[in-house]
Amino acid sequence: MKKIDEYQGKKVLVIGFGISGINAAHLLVKLGANVTANDKATPKNNDIVDDLEADGIKVITGDNPISLANEGFDVVVKNPGIPYDNPLVAAFVKQGTPIITEAELGWQIFDGHLVSVTGSNGKTTTTTLTQLMIAENAKHQVKYAGNIGISFSKIAEDLGPDDTLVTELSSFQLLGAPTIHPHIAIITNIFSNHLDYHKTRENYINAKLNITRNQTKDDFLVINWDRDEWQKIAQRSQATIVPFSRLNKSHEGSYVEDGMIYWRGQEVMPTKDIRLIGPQNVENALAAIAAAKLSGVTNDAIKKVLTTFSGVRHRLQYVMEYQERLFYNDSKSTDIEATEVALQGFDRPVILLAGGLDRGYTFERLVPYFKEHVKAMIVFGECKDKMKDAGNQAGVPVVESENAITAVPEAWKLSEPGDVILLSPANASWDQFPSFEVRGDKFIEAVEELTGKKEQ
């Protein structure tokens, strides 16, 4: 951990009691700040408040009182998910108070080698693969943190100058991380996500590009080279560009040719040996390979990881096989693009479980994928009628269900030996579940109840 005095004697407000917010509040106390912690909800677990107060932190719950904006705070550390038009946050924006996220705080105290990953899809898998690959050859600690569910600042506290940290960073986190400077940055892809938060696609792109804002030619930006738009976006970085591509050969980075993965013209391994299924995971592997090779990782270490790693929970996660049906949990597919790539990963008939929060869009884009891959659909949630319309356009039988749990026995009734039963909702979970993780866990529990088996 790097010793800094930036917060010594400063008055800091932490908004949001998520994992990152709680860790940030305690860290700021260690850094000498006078800390107030605020959350709109009242925690069900009193231990959270007790621990904060025991550390000398003033705690305010049950509201985001606008009056806090008049208390002379020097800095605000905001939960990334709280939008900037939140009345309290907007008041601080108006008066020019610096607003950062916990990722910025983590970067400020980190004293080692930073690799950071962002993108619309594939972030968590790419982060995990990159960490595993670098760790295979490392003589020092190699950890991961960030949007993957582990506090950046908490892990950074325990790492030294020779250690490596691979961080998954969302657009929300990056908006509040003005000085972050990874030596290796990865952009997996950029689609049109979170426009309810960012308002425009250009705002969303700009937030993602904060990952490379402070990079120089001595740093590396590893970026997907499969679309012209992403190639143009790369030109906005000062870093050395390292492309990865499943579709376009580029000797400056990692790519696929005739079923073989190459790094700068040298063979690494066949794509068929990657244990993770689907073209999206070939792309994730290519991104991780580029970062790993830039970090000095051997081909043998890369092969070991890619031939054994079976996936991240909720990201096209293999659950089990039962009576010749394969169950997959892809609850992390909260947008259309993620479900598109999930469906392309299967060469068996798919019983698709889909639906969720209605964000106002329709699903015509999925019709060709339904026609090619989907045998039947079980739809649920706020947008089930829109999802049903797309299924009808594709000529696919559609059954309505209450949610992702009740959909499991319905899918089983429609399935036959050789089928895949896939939860890939194409929508956020918040209409029925607090998170995609809870939705995926409940799906797995329903599969276990149906089959009488535990996930594998």
Residue 126 has pLDDT above 90, yes or no: yes
11-100 CATH fold: Rossmann fold (3.40.50)
What does the pLDDT look like over 138-182, one tens digit per residue?
A: 999 999 999 888 999 999 999 999 999 999 999 999 999 999 999
Distance CA 18, CA 351 (A): 35
Residue found by looking up tokens 């009182």 in the block: 65
Distance CA 413, CA 33 (A): 59
Tokens of 257: 């040719």
pLDDT recorded at residue 191: 87
pLDDT tier, 46 (very low <50, low <70, confident <90, very high otherwise): confident
Instruction: Report which residue type is found at 280.
Output: Q
Q: What angle do CA 110, 114, 119 make, to 5 degrees?
A: 120
pLDDT tier, 197 (very low <50, low <70, confident <90, very high otherwise): confident
pTM reported for the whole predicted model:
0.82
Q: Is 439 left (phi over 0), alpha (psi -120 to 50) or beta?
A: alpha
Torsions phi, psi of 223, nearest 5?
A: -140, 145
Q: How far is CA 32 from CA 4, 135, 158, in A?
A: 10, 34, 18
Tokens of 419: 């089928």
Burial class (CB in 10 A: 0-12, 13-18, 19+), 71: exposed
Residue found by looking up tokens 């339904």 in the block: 370
Q: Is 343 left (phi over 0), alpha (psi -120 to 50) or beta?
A: alpha
Q: Is CATH 3.40.1190.10 the right assignment for the domain spanning 103-308?
A: yes
pLDDT recorded at residue 45: 77
Read off the pLDDT of each residue in 255-273 and give the average, rounded to a whole number: 97
- How confident is the prediction for the chain on average, in pLDDT? 95
pLDDT recorded at residue 69: 97
More confident residue, 411 or 3: 411
Distance CA 239, CA 257 (A): 26
> Alpha helix (H) ranges present in 68-213?
87-95, 102-109, 123-137, 152-156, 171-175, 195-198, 201-209
Residue 302 has pLDDT above 80, yes or no: yes
Q: What is the DSSP letter of 403?
A: S
What does the pLDDT look like over 314-324, one tens digit per residue?
A: 988 889 999 99
Burial class (CB in 10 A: 0-12, 13-18, 19+), 454: exposed
Give the residue from 137, 40, 24, 145 showing the smallest Cα distance to 89.
40
Tokens of 164: 């490596």
Domain boundaries, given as residue ranges, for the chain: 11-100, 103-308, 317-450
Q: Do domains 11-100 and 317-450 have the same CATH topology?
A: no
Q: Determine which helix (DSSP H) or strand (DSSP E) holds 141, and give its type and residue range.
A: none
Q: What are the beta bridge partners of residue 455?
A: none
Weakest-pLDDT range from 57-71, 105-119, 137-151: 137-151
Confirm if 73 and 9 have CB atoms less than 8 A apart.
no
What does the pLDDT look like over 329-386, one tens digit per residue?
A: 999 999 998 899 899 889 899 999 999 999 888 999 999 999 999 999 999 999 999 9
Weakest-pLDDT range from 44-48, 255-259, 286-290, 406-410: 44-48
Residues 6 or more apart whose CB falls under 8 angstroms from that of 73 comprise 11, 12, 13, 36, 92, 97
Instruction: Report which residue type is found at 292.
Output: A
User: Homologous superfamily of 317-450 in CATH?
Assistant: Mur ligase, C-terminal domain (3.90.190.20)
Residue 195 has pLDDT above 80, yes or no: no
Confirm if 113 and 164 have CB atoms less than 8 A apart.
yes
Torsions phi, psi of 364, nearest 5?
A: -60, -30
Count Cβ atoms below 10 Å from residue 39 Cβ, excluding itself: 23
Distance CA 338, CA 333 (A): 5
* Share above pLDDT 70 across residues of the chain, in percent, rounded to a whole number: 100
Distance CA 122, CA 130 (A): 12
pLDDT recorded at residue 143: 97
